[in-house]
């Protein structure tokens, strides 16, 4: 029999977004992306492959998942079984410290933790590059959560060539990410579905591929130079360009809700009054704000005045995959 393996993966926030695939099954993206792994949002997953099981058994935050919700995880386990050339079912138990489906990429930490625990539990000993490639099969954003700090996902062109590389694993730069959790409900349009609609219908899609390539180059320079203003500006613009793809799709859709716009407006007005901060947003209504440490408490008090202290979470750069 095999061993039970537990792994922890942290979520990541993309500063240059991934928003579209050239290959649905292999999740090869249309563009390269760059993210910061965060420290307070993570997933712990334990996997045990057990010859006695007649099907995969999956629990999520202590509850057994319905067949429909388990499907994506079972499909991923099939990829792992394929790779290991073994036909054995698994017991999977996941604890999530990320608000699910609220735009904090729980699928990033989720599939990174599952890739790490399942591959090791089945007896594969993958290096980080191959682990990143495997995590990609679960969810694109999970590709980057193998590493800590600033991480680049090089789009590549095939299963072999599409994986993440660390850009700066140890971040000795006092920056915070402030998450404003305006809405915790499940999103209407999944990112997988949304990005495909954008690829297929947005008239701006080719412009997106062009500008995000340039933004990626520029943000890497800004990070290396510790140029917070430049990094923030590029990240905010890239986020808005991604959301412009949703607005310009057919059918059109958006992840903005009224409170997201309120947060964005507040960031703009704080910035014009001299408090340097920039926002980014993913496939959900919650807004994440980049701020230098010396300005964090001022920003937090402004946000708490408007949205309440239970809605504001301060975090910073986090590590890569950890095994228990």
Positions that interact with ligand DP6 (CB under 6 A): 14, 17-18, 27, 33, 105, 107, 139-141, 191-192, 282-283
User: How far is residue 280 from each of residues 7, 10, 45, 239, 284, measured CA to CA in Å?
Assistant: 28, 18, 28, 6, 11
Give the nearer residue to ligand DP6 in terms of CB position, either 151 or 300.
151
CA dist 69 and 262 (Å) reads: 33
DSSP assignment of 178-204 equals EEE----SPPSS-HHHHHHHHHHH-TT
Among residues 134, 161, 156, 159, the alpha carbon closest in space to that of 145 is found at 134
Cβ–Cβ under 8 Å, residues 160 and 132: no
> Please, which residue, 141 or 162, has the CB nearer to ligand DP6?
141
CB of 280 to ligand DP6, least distance (A): 9
**Which position's Cβ is nearest ligand DP6?**
140
Between 86 and 192, CB nearer to ligand DP6: 192
What string of DSSP letters covers 87-98? Answer: ---EEEEEEE-S
Q: Are 248 and 143 in contact (CB under 8 A)?
A: no
CA distance 238 to 216: 9
CB of 302 to ligand DP6, least distance (A): 26
Q: How far is the CB of 190 from ligand DP6 (least distance, A)?
A: 7
Q: Which is nearer to ligand DP6, 49 or 150 (CB)?
A: 150
Give the C-alpha separation, 252 to 310, whole Å. 32
Exposure string for 227-249, b = 16+ CB within 10 A, e = fewer: ebeebbbbbbebbebbbbbbebb
Give the residue with the Cβ less far from ligand DP6, 109 or 296.
109
How far apart, in whole angstroms, are the C-alpha atoms of residue 87 and residue 284? 37
The least distance separating ligand DP6 from the CB of residue 255, rounded to whole angstroms, comes to: 8
Q: Of the two residues 119 and 238, which places its CB atom closer to ligand DP6 in the complex?
A: 238
C-alpha separations of 191 from 37, 111, 141, 186, 316 in Å: 19, 15, 10, 12, 24
* Distance in angstroms (rounded) separating the CA atoms of residues 71 and 22: 23
Of 140 and 166, which CB lies nearer to ligand DP6 in the complex structure? 140
Q: How far is CA 14 from CA 70, 142, 161, 297, in A?
A: 26, 11, 20, 23
Least distance from ligand DP6 to the Cβ atom of residue 4, Å: 26
Min dist CB 73 to ligand DP6, Å, is 12
Q: How far is the CB of 164 from ligand DP6 (least distance, A)?
A: 11
Distance of closest approach, residue 33 Cβ to ligand DP6, in angstroms: 5
Nearer to ligand DP6, 120 or 288 (CB): 288
């Amino acid at each position: 029999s095999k061993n039970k393996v537990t792994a922890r993966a942290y979520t990541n926030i993309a500063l240059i977004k991934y928003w579209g695939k050239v290959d649905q099954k292999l999740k090869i993206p249309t563009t390269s992306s760059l993210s910061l792994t965060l420290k307070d949002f993570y997933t712990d997953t334990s996997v045990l492959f057990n010859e006695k099981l007649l099907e995969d058994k999956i629990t999520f935050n202590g509850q057994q998942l319905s067949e429909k919700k388990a499907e994506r995880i079972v499909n991923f386990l099939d990829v792992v079984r394929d790779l290991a050339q073994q036909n054995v079912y698994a017991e999977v138990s996941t604890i999530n410290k990320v608000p699910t489906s609220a735009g904090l990429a729980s699928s990033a930490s989720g599939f990174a933790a599952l890739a790490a625990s399942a591959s090791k539990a089945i007896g594969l000993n993958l290096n980080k590059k191959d682990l990143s490639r495997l995590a990609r099969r679960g969810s694109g954003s999970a590709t980057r959560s193998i590493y800590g700090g600033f991480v680049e996902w090089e789009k590549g062109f095939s299963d072999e060539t599409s994986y993440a590389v660390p850009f700066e694993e140890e971040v000795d730069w006092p920056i915070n990410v402030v998450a404003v959790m305006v809405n915790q409900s499940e999103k209407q349009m999944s990112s997988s579905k949304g990005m495909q609609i954008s690829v297929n219908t947005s008239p701006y899609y080719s412009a997106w591929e062009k500008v995000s390539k340039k933004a990626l180059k520029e943000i890497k320079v800004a990070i290396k130079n510790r140029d917070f203003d430049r990094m923030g500006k590029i990240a905010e613009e890239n986020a808005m360009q991604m959301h412009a793809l949703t607005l310009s799709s057919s059918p059109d859709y958006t992840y903005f809700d009224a409170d997201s716009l309120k947060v964005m407006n507040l960031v703009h007005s704080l910035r014009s009054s001299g408090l340097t901060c920039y926002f980014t947003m993913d496939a959900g209504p919650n807004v994440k704000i980049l701020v230098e440490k010396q300005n964090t408490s001022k920003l937090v008090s402004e946000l708490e005045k408007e949205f309440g202290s239970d809605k504001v979470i301060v975090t910073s750069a986090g590590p890569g995959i950890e095994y228990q």
